[in-house]
Amino acid sequence: MTRSEMLFKEAARFIPGGVNSPVRAFGSVGETPRFIASAKGAYMTDVDGNTYLDFVGSWGPMILGHSHPAVLDAVLEACREGLSFGAATEREVEMAELICSLVPSIEMVRMVNSGTEAVMSAIRAARGFTGRSKIVKFAGCYHGHSDSMLVKAGSGVMTAGIPDSAGVPEGCTRDTLTAVYNDLQSVEDIFGACGAEIAAVIVEPVAANMGVVLPEEGFLTGLRRICDEYGALLIFDEVITGFRLSLSGAQGYFGVRPDLTTFGKIIGGGMPVGAYGGRKDVMELIAPSGPVYQAGTLSGNPVAMAAGLAQLRLLRDTPDFYEELNRKGEVFFENIKKAVREAGKPWQVNHIGSLGCIFFTDSPVENYAQAKTADTKAFAEYFSWMLGHGIYVAPSQFEAMFLSSAMTEEELAGAQETLKEYLNKSQA
């Protein structure tokens, strides 16, 4: 028995399912989770000494790779000053100023501790500002595990086969309306029925929790138009795309300005952190400035702020960072697409910038229903092969692959060759 297997067996005695987040359980791929001991650059090493080229990157934030020296130095310096104060710090001000300077739609920002917390707080702000109750989300988009958002959610909820969640009262989701991603008519229909009651539309500008599903041309601008027409707010959930597609996130990449934006752990260099921000007239309603209450003892934690400031400043100050990373992603995923096609496989390869996903289905994937046609058993076989050959991808068909700037052309080419070996094996 490997040490990972022993740890998982022991963990199951004390932790529900043996893990602290469902998708880590490897249940949908029939494997035992690997317990990671360390990570550096483009690689992670598990407790059994196996090393993997990491395409998960802590689910996105390790855009510079693991243990970047500048980020580590900032964290260590902050730790020496104190781990938590429960009081205001200069770094919080620096972080707020930095985010507002990088993302044009954000005039004020509030730090929180996770993407889930950022989303639930942004929705509360939208309801407080508009005086309306209903929220429109999209099937397959995952916005964290708050009660009102667990309606046709993506991410681990998809692979677990749980359309909603036990423990969520019906009343909590009564005001959550679900539309079809990339289908503006479905949004028009909802607004036509109850537009005066809708506070906001929340969307992943690139849906990256049902695999990777790109917005069709005109979809995001159409959402902006509909929200303006009915006086609703547009919320971009950029927990994954924020500071990933560009320095100003997906909104900068696509040129669409939301009213509110949510961010996740990338602004903490991978440490537990989140934020929401946007228009000043909306954000000024947040307590203590206004009547919309939201608080957090650990919000703006000084160590997390130090890590995030170091990472974001590196992204800002490195010439052509995104151009180079997105070029790597384009080459990598296009080569995968070519290998899949040459092997005669009908799989779909969706990608944008440094994000991508292989869907094990023969039909294009542009929404949740199409994503659900993927063959999860075929994915599990592919996953096991890649893991066994030193390539760590997300243990779910419905998650993204993330590239980091620490990955070299040679390492990416090696991952492509591993996939080709699998394709040749599966043809035999």
CATH of the domain at 363: 3.90.1150.10
For residues 21 and 56, the answer to whether their CB atoms sit within 8 Å is no
**Mean pLDDT score, 319-325:** 97
| 97 and 244 together in one domain | yes
The average confidence (pLDDT) of the chain is: 93
Sheet holding 355-359, edge to edge: 348-352, 355-359, 401-402
CATH number at residue 275: 3.40.640.10
Last residue of a domain, one of 266, 294, 317: 317
CB atoms within 10 A of CB 327: 13
| 144 or 185, which is more confident | 185
pLDDT value, residue 426: 73
CA-to-CA distance for 204 and 261, rounded, in angstroms? 10
pLDDT tens-digit readout, 96-137? 999 999 999 999 999 999 999 999 999 999 999 999 999 999
CA-to-CA distance for 384 and 209, rounded, in angstroms? 21
Residue 245 Rama label (left phi>0; alpha psi -120 to 50; beta)? alpha
CA-to-CA distance for 149 and 237, rounded, in angstroms? 12
Range of the domain at 409: 3-67+319-427
| 127 and 141 together in one domain | yes
Q: How many residues in the chain?
A: 428
What tokens does 406 get? 């620490």
Last residue of a domain, one of 317, 335, 362: 317
| 244 and 356 together in one domain | no
Query: Judging by beta carbons within 10 Å of its beta carbon (0-12, 13-18, 19+), is residue 384 exposed, middle or buried?
Result: middle
Decide if pLDDT at 158 tops 50.
Answer: no
The H or E element spanning position 45 is strand 43-46
Last residue of a domain, one of 292, 317, 342: 317
For residues 79 and 303, the answer to whether their CB atoms sit within 8 Å is yes
pLDDT tens-digit readout, 257-301? 999 999 999 999 999 999 999 999 999 999 999 999 999 999 999
Q: What is the DSSP letter of 32?
A: P
pLDDT value, residue 238: 97
pLDDT value, residue 153: 52
| 335 and 206 together in one domain | no
Which residues are registered as beta bridge partners of 277? 109, 261
| 129 and 262 together in one domain | yes
CA-to-CA distance for 52 and 216, rounded, in angstroms? 34
Decide if pLDDT at 166 tops 90.
Answer: no
pLDDT tens-digit readout, 334-387? 999 999 999 999 999 999 999 999 999 999 999 999 999 999 999 999 999 999
Give the count of domains, the chain. Answer: 2
**Mean pLDDT score, 178-191:** 96
Q: What is the CA radius of gyration of the chain?
A: 21
pLDDT value, residue 147: 67
Per-residue exposure over 266-281, b if at least 16 CB sit within 10 Å of its own CB, e if not = bbbbbbebbbbbbbee
| 219 and 275 together in one domain | yes
For residues 118 and 112, the answer to whether their CB atoms sit within 8 Å is yes
The single-letter code of the amino acid at 247 is L
**Alpha-carbon distances, residue 355 vs 55, 185, 273, 329 (angstroms):** 10, 27, 21, 7
pLDDT value, residue 169: 72
| 21 and 84 together in one domain | no
Decide if pLDDT at 90 tops 60.
Answer: yes
Hey, which residues are catalytic here? 142, 237, 265
pLDDT value, residue 170: 74
> Which residue matches tokens 């066994």?
388
Q: What is the DSSP letter of 275?
A: E
Decide if pLDDT at 162 tops 60.
Answer: no
pLDDT tens-digit readout, 7-61? 999 999 999 999 999 888 898 898 999 999 999 999 999 999 999 999 999 999 9
What tokens does 83 get? 């781990």
SS3 of 265, please?
helix
What tokens does 392 get? 């760590």
CA-to-CA distance for 294 and 287, rounded, in angstroms? 6
| 235 and 340 together in one domain | no
99-103, 148-152, 184-188: range with lowest mean pLDDT:
148-152
Instruction: Output phi, psi for 177, to 5 deg.
Output: -105, 135
For residues 270 and 58, the answer to whether their CB atoms sit within 8 Å is yes
- Residue 149's pLDDT band, with cuts at 50, 70 and 90, is confident
Query: Judging by beta carbons within 10 Å of its beta carbon (0-12, 13-18, 19+), is residue 427 exposed, middle or buried?
Result: exposed
Which residues are registered as beta bridge partners of 261? 236, 277
| 276 and 373 together in one domain | no
CB atoms within 10 A of CB 290: 14
Instruction: Output phi, psi for 80, to 5 deg.
Output: -65, -25
∠ CA(417), CA(422), CA(425), 5° rounding? 125
| 388 and 254 together in one domain | no
pLDDT value, residue 152: 56
| 55 and 79 together in one domain | no
The single-letter code of the amino acid at 79 is C
| 268 and 402 together in one domain | no
pLDDT tens-digit readout, 414-427? 999 999 999 988 76
For residues 354 and 332, the answer to whether their CB atoms sit within 8 Å is no
> Which residue matches tokens 């690997």?
34
pLDDT value, residue 165: 67
